[in-house]
């Protein structure tokens, strides 16, 4: 009744003046404010919810918080609400489910009349050079998956024979150099743990080189020869790149470790944003040895790259619907019948991605090993990475 009397006694005042008198936090130029008492009560109810239910209720508000202009929802922070971080919000996206759906869509056979316009749009968007393809006729590819995994003409990628290590794929050099303090850079200034990436050292029965002493660091467990150093190189494959990868040198693959995990984007911008991105994502680690000691090649999965295929490994199945976080599966290629493993020649076909992703090389070499690279440069399969 008092409010009604006040409204009558101030009839000349506008509604805005009245609202400002009774709720001074309701109207602020450029912002949308809410009654704080009601919000505090509501947030108190949210705090009593289970964690899954709380995430479900907070997620839409968080999306609006980052999308709406002028910070329309920022006053909520004054009454105790905090938005989910952008990284946590991105991690909550079901990228594995989306990647499986994309993989099935890629298998759908396109009508003959639709193939040229669909593939032409992809070629224009990502700058694909079809003159290098073994089959240039776009009508030859029945579905998107076949087009992504197109083979190249033999002369399109000559393999450099004068250098010790060649690029296993087309792509962009994100980082390279010596491994220091058991940390590897995924991009400049953003590192991840070498042991988290490769996992615990495998059984010495599966290795062709002698074990390290128990007190050695993880890096020293991999460096098996005195005077050698551990090196790394990260190559990012864009969607328009050639999607197969090859053996970067003459080596023997003795072990495979498969890490089921997330399928977040691995483009350079995302790699700067999310620390240890490569350790979160699904990946296949191939380890063995070359003439200088330890050698490994890791194929890292990404969004819409639900399928990582290794040609000689028929038991490998990636992007399964269910997996235990932090788990991994080991498989040894060293058997009683084959005590050496799988020999690979430089340039030999090794595997393929379903779209674009990342290759990480970690290997042992003498101290005078030199990379012939620049960070950020484009590289093609067969070109030199480095030599002694």
Q: Which residue, among 387, 381, 370, 348, has the nearest Cα to 156 in the 3D structure?
A: 381
Task: Please identify which residue in the block is written with the tokens 């090389």.
Answer: 361
DSSP class of 154: G
| C-alpha 94 chain-centroid distance | 14
Q: Which of 167, 241, 243, 246 is catalytic?
A: 246
Count of alpha carbons within 13 Å of 117, Cβ hemisphere only? 5
Q: What is the CA radius of gyration of the chain?
A: 27
Q: Tell me if residue 258 is catalytic.
A: no
Q: Which helix (H) or strand (E) holds 97?
A: helix 95-106
CA separation for the pair 373, 360 (Å, rounded) = 15
Q: Which of 58, 169, 170, 254 is catalytic?
A: 170
CB atoms < 10 A from the CB of 84, how many? 18
Q: Tell me if residue 170 is catalytic.
A: yes
CA separation for the pair 364, 222 (Å, rounded) = 8
CA separation for the pair 179, 182 (Å, rounded) = 6
Q: Which residue, among 246, 241, 242, has the nearest Cα to 347 in the 3D structure?
A: 246
CA separation for the pair 201, 265 (Å, rounded) = 27
CA separation for the pair 308, 290 (Å, rounded) = 23
Q: Tell me if residue 280 is catalytic.
A: no
Residues annotated as part of the active site: 170, 246, 357
């Amino acid at each position: 009744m008092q409010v009604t009397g006040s409204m009558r006694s101030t009839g000349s005042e506008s509604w805005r003046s009245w609202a400002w008198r009774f709720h001074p936090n309701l109207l602020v130029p450029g912002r949308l404010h809410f009654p704080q008492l009601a919000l505090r009560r509501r947030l108190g109810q949210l705090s009593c919810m289970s964690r899954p239910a709380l995430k479900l209720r907070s997620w839409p508000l968080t999306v609006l918080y980052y999308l709406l202009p002028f910070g329309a929802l920022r006053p909520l922070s004054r009454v105790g609400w905090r938005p989910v971080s952008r990284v946590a919000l991105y991690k909550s996206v079901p990228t594995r489910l989306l990647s499986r759906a994309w993989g099935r869509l890629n298998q759908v056979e396109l009508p003959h009349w639709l193939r040229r316009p669909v593939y032409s749009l992809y070629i224009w968007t990502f700058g694909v050079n079809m003159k290098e393809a073994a089959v240039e006729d776009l009508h030859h590819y029945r579905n998107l998956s076949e087009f992504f995994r197109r083979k190249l003409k033999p002369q399109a990628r000559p393999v450099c024979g004068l250098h010790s290590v060649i690029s296993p794929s087309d792509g962009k050099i994100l980082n390279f150099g010596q491994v220091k303090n058991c940390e590897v850079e995924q991009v400049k200034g953003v590192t991840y743990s070498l042991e988290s990436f490769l996992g615990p050292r495998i059984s010495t029965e599966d290795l062709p080189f002698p074990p390290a002493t128990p007190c050695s660091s993880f890096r020293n467990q991999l460096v098996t020869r005195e005077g050698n150093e551990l090196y790394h190189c990260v190559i990012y494959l864009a969607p328009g790149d050639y999607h197969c990868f090859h053996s970067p040198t003459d080596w023997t693959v003795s072990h495979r470790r498969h890490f089921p995990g997330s399928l977040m984007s691995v483009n350079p911008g995302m790699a700067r944003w999310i620390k240890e991105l490569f350790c979160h994502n699904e990946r296949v680690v191939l380890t063995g040895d070359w003439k200088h000691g330890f050698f490994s090649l890791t194929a890292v999965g990404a969004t819409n790259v639900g399928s990582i295929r290794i040609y000689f490994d028929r038991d490998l199945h990636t992007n399964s619907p269910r997996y235990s976080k932090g788990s991994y599966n080991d498989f040894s290629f060293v058997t009683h019948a084959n005590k050496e493993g799988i020999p690979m020649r430089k340039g030999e076909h090794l595997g393929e991605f379903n779209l674009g992703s990342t290759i990480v090389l970690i290997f042992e070499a003498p101290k005078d090993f030199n990379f012939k690279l620049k960070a950020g440069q484009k590289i093609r399969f067969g070109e030199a990475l480095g030599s002694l």
